[in-house]
Amino acid sequence: MAAAVSSKVLYDHEGIFIHTNTEGNEDQDSLTSGCLRVIDKDGEIFVEYKPLEDDLASMLCAGKDSSSVVEWSQPDRALQPLDRQHSSETEWDMLNAVYFRKKPMINGDASNHLPTRNRRAFSFSLNDLLSIKVKKEGWSYLIPCLKDDSTLPELHFHQGGSEAFLDCLRRFVILTESAFDKSCLQVSHPNKALSQSFENLLDDTTFGLVQVGIFLYRDLHFLLYHWRKFRKDPYTTTLGGFSKVTNYLFDAFKGAEVEQQERPAEEVADILSEVIPGLEINQQEEPGFEVITRIDLGLRPEVERGEPVWVEDWAKHMDSEGRMKTIQHLKQKIFKGGLCHAVRKEAWKFLLGYFPWDSTHKERESLQRTKTDEYFRMKLQWKSVSEEQEKRNSRLRDNRSLIEKDVNRTDRTNTFYEGPDNPGLIMLHDILMTYCMYDFDLGYVQGMSDLLSPILYVMESEVDAFWCFVSFMDQMHQNFEEQMQGMKTQLIQLSTLLRLLDLAFWNYLEAQDSGYLFCFRWLLILFKRELSFQDVQRLWEVMWTGLPCQNFHLLMCCAILDSEKQTIMERSYGFNEILKHINELSMKLNIEEILGKAEAICLQLKCCKDLPASVAEILGFNTDAESSQMEASDPGGQGSPEPVTGADGVETDSSSSSNQHLLEAAQDVYKLAYIS
């Protein structure tokens, strides 16, 4: 009787697609979804791809000229519906996660190792693999080539996971970049007898640290490969090689049974420092290679929030003519506790820059008269356009159509906007239409109604709300531009901050190929859809102070992710699960806890002596130092802040630095589709 076949699944990933041309349709590709596995079958490694149990249920269509998965549509023929995860408001589902039922894996159910293509399924032994081509098309896709010169279908990793698949293969074969084609990874197989001799040699307990993975046989091939590179470019190869040492050391302290549960970066660094005296572990960006050292961020301080600024407190900071005084101290109080609602109508005009801090009552009255005339002149421009004129003005028609659609679904549960023919909705509509006359180039973009709604609610005045909204849009303008350069830059900056704060979590998110798109809505409209209406007002007025640093909203993102990282990592969430989990946080976040944690992170980084220059630039710490020197040299200047006890925050320029080196790195990323 034949012995039972023992199989172990080493890698299992769903949502891998094969693109094949749909019959009779040259403009669309047929997408077959399946599951990709790496299986250890009695010591021999197989790679297996199986389509879903029901081929029809796995078919989607995508235009060939489209690189965005979110633009897929189902074919005309009847299909079994896919399970979709929608957020509470479908128009903000930036990416609709698609889930497929997982076919149970039965041990020993691996197909014959000879390549088979029945219903687009195939399986092959790793010993038969000659090379793998790695391509990019908005996502990664791999093309396996076998030794018999046969080429298997392209495997498209729309939902990420390609690097994890290649890392799994590297446990058993050597993948080296071809000298003739950088996109081709050549596969070589280690000599098993020699490998076994190395393992026997390293059984000696005197090689305890080495035994766990530093000088395994496959790493000898790695060294030989880099020796060839060293001969071509000694400088870059040497520094690049040093950067990899930390990865091997980190692997040395990860048990085989808990590969998915990494130790915190700080804990591993402490262990390594004890084992290898003098070793410093840290990360900084360098062109062409990565140098890894250690940065001690120090302890994160405890932070307490304060009471809101009441009417009496606000009045104390105004002189007899209406000029605001001790502005820095006032901003500090607003940052620590926000404003009571009775103060917001006046205070927001100062915080947003509509009113100058040093203006008198009379000057502000004169300013309002001027701004009122200017507003109604612009409003008259679109009001006076006849129907015949509008038929020949596609830009105006498009703006009006999109505004009417968005206004009718903006904060309709709020009493200020609820019910039909609500005056609040009419003002919301008219302000947005007038803004199209103010900024012809930008016009109206979906999401701007969310930024205006709380401002109009507080101001209760069409004119004041418009000019406060104009000031707010000056800050948010790049988020809504066609190229969305502001969004790209912020997502890159968020990645930089998170990498410094929590390397293990950063590595986990990078492995999901998420691009931090689950934070996209947070940044686009400053958490408007994540918090209650009252909490949004508190958050925005705190952020408008410009304290305690530049780009404080990015630290807010870090604070939220820090609270959720344990759940995400322990449950091994992939990109779809992370996106779903983040969407479900809406209306469940505690604004005071998040503000406190974000402030604590800021103070922790500010006290770090070896803070990377890129992080200091993102948070504006260099600008802070320059501003402090200028204030010290001109203590009597207009609006000079009053000394404040403690070091809870420092006033900074609210405008972001250009971060040109980060902007240049943001290429070919984040193509988004709005779902109306």
Most confident of 124-133, 374-383, 640-649: 374-383
Among 454, 631, 434, CA closest to 526: 454
Q: Which of 48-57, 178-187, 639-648 has the lowest mean pLDDT?
A: 639-648
Q: Which residues contact residue 495 at a Cβ distance below 8 angstroms, ignoring those fewer than 6 apart?
A: 506, 516
- For residue 665, what are its two tokens? 């790195």
As a CATH number, domain 7-21+29-53+120-188 is 2.30.29.230
> What confidence category does residue 53 fall into, taking pLDDT thresholds of 50, 70 and 90?
low
Please give the Cα distance from 313 to 299 (Å, whole number).
Answer: 34
CB neighbours (10 Å) of residue 76? 8
Average pLDDT of the residues in 32-46: 87
pLDDT, residue 525, reads 95
Inter-residue contact 492 to 662 (CB < 8 Å): yes
Inter-residue contact 580 to 520 (CB < 8 Å): no
Q: Which of 249-263, 337-351, 442-456 has the lowest mean pLDDT?
A: 249-263
Element housing 55 (H / E): none
The position carrying tokens 């790793």 is: 126
The position carrying tokens 């094969």 is: 18
pLDDT, residue 14, reads 83
Whether the predicted pLDDT of 292 surpasses 80: no
Residue 186: strand, helix, or coil: strand
Please give the Cα distance from 63 to 27 (Å, whole number).
Answer: 6
CA distances to 169, 212, 496, 629 from 243, rounded to whole Å, are: 22, 19, 18, 38
Alpha helices in 253-310 (DSSP H): 265-275
Please give the Cα distance from 675 to 520 (Å, whole number).
Answer: 14
Q: What is the DSSP string of 543-605?
A: HTTT-SSTTHHHHHHHHHHHHHHHHHHHTT--HHHHHHHHHTTTT---HHHHHHHHHHHHHHH
Residue 580: exposed, middle, or buried by beta-carbon count in 10 A (0-12, 13-18, 19+)? middle
Answer with the residue of higher pLDDT: 669 or 148. 148
Domain ranges of the chain: 7-21+29-53+120-188, 353-479, 485-624
pLDDT, residue 153, reads 87
Backbone angles phi and psi of 152, in degrees to 5: -85, 165
Average pLDDT of the residues in 221-228: 45
Average pLDDT of the residues in 328-332: 96
Alpha helices in 172-233 (DSSP H): 192-201, 208-211, 217-232
Sign of CA dihedral 507, 195, 225, 184: negative
pLDDT, residue 32, reads 80
Among 586, 436, 557, CA closest to 490: 557
Average pLDDT taken over every residue of the chain: 74
Element housing 58 (H / E): none
pLDDT, residue 98, reads 33
Please give the Cα distance from 508 to 314 (Å, whole number).
Answer: 46
- Topology of domain 485-624, CATH: Cyclin A; domain 1 (1.10.472)
pLDDT, residue 113, reads 41
Q: Give a three-class secondary structure readout of 307-323.
A: CCECHHHHHHCECCCCC
Answer with the residue of higher pLDDT: 577 or 227. 577
Backbone angles phi and psi of 442, in degrees to 5: -85, -45
Inter-residue contact 530 to 585 (CB < 8 Å): yes
pLDDT, residue 497, reads 95
Q: 609-649, pLDDT tens digit by residue? A: 889 999 999 999 976 554 544 444 443 333 333 333 333 33
pTM, rounded to two decimals? 0.55
Residue 287: exposed, middle, or buried by beta-carbon count in 10 A (0-12, 13-18, 19+)? exposed
* CATH architecture entry for 353-479: Orthogonal Bundle (1.10)
Among 571, 588, 568, CA closest to 579: 568
Whether the predicted pLDDT of 200 surpasses 50: no
Please give the Cα distance from 35 to 38 (Å, whole number).
Answer: 10
pLDDT, residue 20, reads 67
Q: Which of 372-386, 439-453, 511-525 has the lowest mean pLDDT?
A: 511-525
Q: How far is CA 164 from the centre of its chain?
A: 20
Portion of the chain with pLDDT greater than 90, in percent: 45
Inter-residue contact 19 to 154 (CB < 8 Å): yes
pLDDT, residue 219, reads 43
pLDDT, residue 294, reads 58
Q: Is 143 left (phi over 0), alpha (psi -120 to 50) or beta?
A: beta
Answer with the residue of higher pLDDT: 61 or 548. 548
Strands 184-188, 289-293: parallel, antiparallel or unpaired by DSSP? unpaired
Please give the Cα distance from 508 to 577 (Å, whole number).
Answer: 13
Inter-residue contact 527 to 539 (CB < 8 Å): yes
